[in-house]
Structure 1
Amino acid sequence: MEFSQLTPYWMEFAAIATLHFFAVASPGPDFAVVLKQSITYGRRAAIYTSIGVGTAIFLHVTYSLLGIGLLIKTTPWLFQVFAYAAAAYLVYLGWGALRSQPMQLPMDNSNMPQEELSLNHISGRKSFFIGFVTNGLNPKATLFFLTVFAVAVSPQTPMLIKSFYGIYLAVATGIWFVFLSLILSGSKIREVLTHNGYIFDRIMGVILIVLAINLVWSA
């Protein structure tokens, strides 16, 4: 496909990118879980979680392109089941956060990297899984992609172009949350979170449970 043939799709892409920016920047389950990972486990875990969130975008893109999204949209009870599953997972994460306890740090930690001051550890695989499931079960993400591919993307747009849109959305989402992970786990911010992490963790637990209640209420 020549460059001149891509010209008609630049405005379409710009609309999608703009919608995506406002959607990904608004606080929601993805932001809450990345913040929680930063507080509890540090930068590495938060980055893996962010990559999981970005990778889950491919799931939404796939069912939207295959038309399964239309089935979810036209079948209310199926969407409700999806929302309840997401709410249950958020409650699970929130309850775990509410049980967070103050960290017991070693007495001699002057020479330890700030990232190692936390005694909480989690594998990269589990962190990735948390991010993937959180976004994959996020009904807001489902609604966003149903809207984008049904309204902003023309039916005449070639599948190759639509696939490019999907790749962009996944990569842009991952980059955004990795950026947030780097900011949240910066030395000064991390120091505050390390000493008061259990307080922030419990706050995040409340937020996650509130988000779950809101999902059930609006389903």
Structure 2
Amino acid sequence: MSWAAWLTVVVVCALGAATPGPSLAVVVAHALGGSRRRGVACAWAHALGVGTYALATLAGLAALLRAHPRLLTAITALGALYLAWLGVGLLRTSAARASLAPTGETAAIGPVRDGLTMALLNPKITLFFAAVFSQFVGPEPGWLKGAMLCLTAMAVDGLYYSLVAGVLTSGPGLGWLHRQGQRLDRLMGLVLLGVAAWAALRLAAGPV
């Protein structure tokens, strides 16, 4: 793979990561409701899910979706249910504060679980890799090119969302953000429920 082709992949992955959506909302919720460490953990777990899709693309994701179109519908439905579950949890302000800022083992599992699950159940990511990322794969990519593509997708995604978590948990506005924690939880909960409702309406209107 040439440097020009690799830089194109970097730019495309960066644009895909920077597009606002439920993944961003989940990382923001963990960063603001917990800490920078929790936001970064969620970011890299999300990147692992993105890497999984990159690997699936190498294995023929686009062909699989064409052969089984209901697979994307199932991913969308599961994603909507998971978003609704997260949104309801955030709207229960006191319970959400406890679940997003616990101690011990749960503190490590929560953001990792949500980041990975959100990546795997986000139909936008599925379509991105099937329709856009697959254009860079080629008919028979070698193992070196495949490894570069997977690692690039993971690195760009993880670094972008880590940057988001870092920006939100530093600077002069940090104190204000923590004081507004309950309101922000409710806002993020409503955002997630709104995305879940939009996904449900799309499913009701017909195949995704």
TM score, norm. by length of structure 1: 0.82
Distance 1:54 1:150 in 2: 18
1:156 deviates by 4.8
Contact 2:54 2:150 in 1 (8 A): yes
Question: Relative to structure 1, is the Cα distance of residues 67 and 95 closer, same or farther in structure 2, using a 3 angstrom cutoff?
Answer: same
The answer for the alignment partner of 1:171 in structure 2 is 155
The answer for the alignment partner of 1:108 in structure 2 is none
The answer for the alignment partner of 1:59 in structure 2 is 52
Which of 140, 145, 153 is residue 124 of structure 2 equivalent to? 140
Note the alpha carbon deviations across 1:42-88, whole angstroms, 9 max, x for none.
21211111111111112101211112442124322121011100110
RMSD after superposition: 2.2
Q: For 1:101-116, what aligned pairs fall within 5 Å after superposition?
A: 101=94
Q: For 1:67-106, what aligned pairs fall within 5 Å after superposition?
A: 67-101=60-94
Say if 2:153 is the partner of 1:153: no
Contact 2:89 2:96 in 1 (8 A): no
Contact 2:22 2:192 in 1 (8 A): yes
1:97 deviates by 0.8
Unaligned stretches of 5+ in structure 2?
203-207
Unaligned stretches of 5+ in structure 1?
1-5, 105-118
Whichever of the two has the greater Rg, that structure is 1
Contact 2:14 2:160 in 1 (8 A): no
Say if 2:110 is the partner of 1:129: no
Distance 2:134 2:196 in 1: 26
TM score, norm. by length of structure 2: 0.86
- Amino acid corresponding to residue 196 of structure 2 in structure 1: A
Identity within the alignment, %: 24
The answer for the alignment partner of 1:116 in structure 2 is none
1:189 deviates by 2.8
Distance 2:186 2:58 in 1: 39
Contact 1:82 1:139 in 2 (8 A): yes
1:209 deviates by 1.2
Say if 2:80 is the partner of 1:120: no
1:187 deviates by 4.6
Contact 1:102 1:196 in 2 (8 A): no
Distance 1:123 1:135 in 2: 19
Distance 1:193 1:211 in 2: 23
